[in-house]
Amino acid sequence: MRAAAAICVIAALTGCSRDVPPPVAAQSQAAPVEGCVDRFVQEYEETAAAATPADTQNICFEGSSPEGPPKYPTRSLSIRLAYDRGDYFAKQESADWMYDEEPDVARGCIIARLKRTTVVKRVQGGVTESAMTRDGETLSSAATGEQYGSRIRLGTGPGEMPSAASINPATELLREESPYGVCLRAMVVNSSMCTLEQPRECKSSQVMLPIEIRFPNAQGGTQVGRTTSLERVAANRSEWVMP
């Protein structure tokens, strides 16, 4: 039963950052599930546990030191999520090292720049809106018709977390104490994820970020995401303003 529960936890969360909300009728007809966290404000941060030493001999850094943060060549992000009975407002701020398309021939190096991106998503009354700001330019779903909210790591968190199909049938679901309540940890090779214990039928479990997650990053190290604050309070909807 524990193995089946582990598979259910991951499977239930794997598609949660998509921008297609359930129909409004389904939202209104669904009966409340006992034990769900229906209102909360969560803050989450993700960084590299240890930056793998990188060869910077042929790299020229523009606008930032290789020490970052985040330290070259790793990335970081932070998310603030306010959830209120199926509606929610999420804001993600990330920093990534990017390379110019053309090398600097005069200096004989590749240009590396630290790029910062902000993505905002609001789901309210069955309507989904989102916006992304990068390099001083803001693109909004209202203007472009394109949704950007899938870039926010909600629910299952990072896409690197293995799908249910890759989980060993013998996987145990471990119960741990956390500052925010009992945490259920599922583990696979090189990755683990601990989520707040609540019935998997809870809508909030599809959006709430992990209490902790560890997974390999592109630099050969380990990326670590942690909830730094989780308050079970009513969200202030007056703050749910789109850029």
d(CA 148, CA 146) in angstroms, rounded, equals: 7
The average pLDDT across 153-173 equals 55
Which of these ranges, 16-25, 35-44, 101-110, has the smallest mean pLDDT?
Answer: 16-25
The average pLDDT across 54-67 equals 89
Strands 59-62, 110-124: pairing kind = parallel
d(CA 150, CA 213) in angstroms, rounded, equals: 19
d(CA 150, CA 19) in angstroms, rounded, equals: 6
Query: Do 77 and 45 touch, CB atoms closer than 8 A?
Result: yes
d(CA 206, CA 17) in angstroms, rounded, equals: 8
User: Is residue 130 classed as helix, strand or coil in its secondary structure?
Assistant: strand
Residue in the block written with tokens 């009975």:
85
Helix or strand (DSSP H, E) at 48: strand 39-48
The average pLDDT across 131-154 equals 95
pLDDT, tens digit, for every residue of 174-191? 899 999 999 999 888 888
In this prediction the pTM is 0.80
Q: Please state, as a whole number, how many other Cβ atoms lie within 10 Å of the Cβ of residue 224.
A: 16
* DSSP state letter for 104: B
When comparing pLDDT for 69 and 156, which is higher?
69
d(CA 216, CA 162) in angstroms, rounded, equals: 11
What is the pLDDT, as a whole number, of residue 188?
Answer: 83
d(CA 38, CA 109) in angstroms, rounded, equals: 52
d(CA 228, CA 216) in angstroms, rounded, equals: 21
- pLDDT classification of 164: cutoffs 50, 70, 90: very low
d(CA 22, CA 112) in angstroms, rounded, equals: 41
Checking if the pLDDT of 67 tops 50, the result is yes
Query: Do 94 and 46 touch, CB atoms closer than 8 A?
Result: no
- State what percent of residues in the chain have pLDDT above 90: 63
- What beta strand segments (E) does 155-221 contain? 173-178, 181-188, 191-196, 212-216
Query: Do 120 and 94 touch, CB atoms closer than 8 A?
Result: no
What is the pLDDT, as a whole number, of residue 9?
Answer: 38
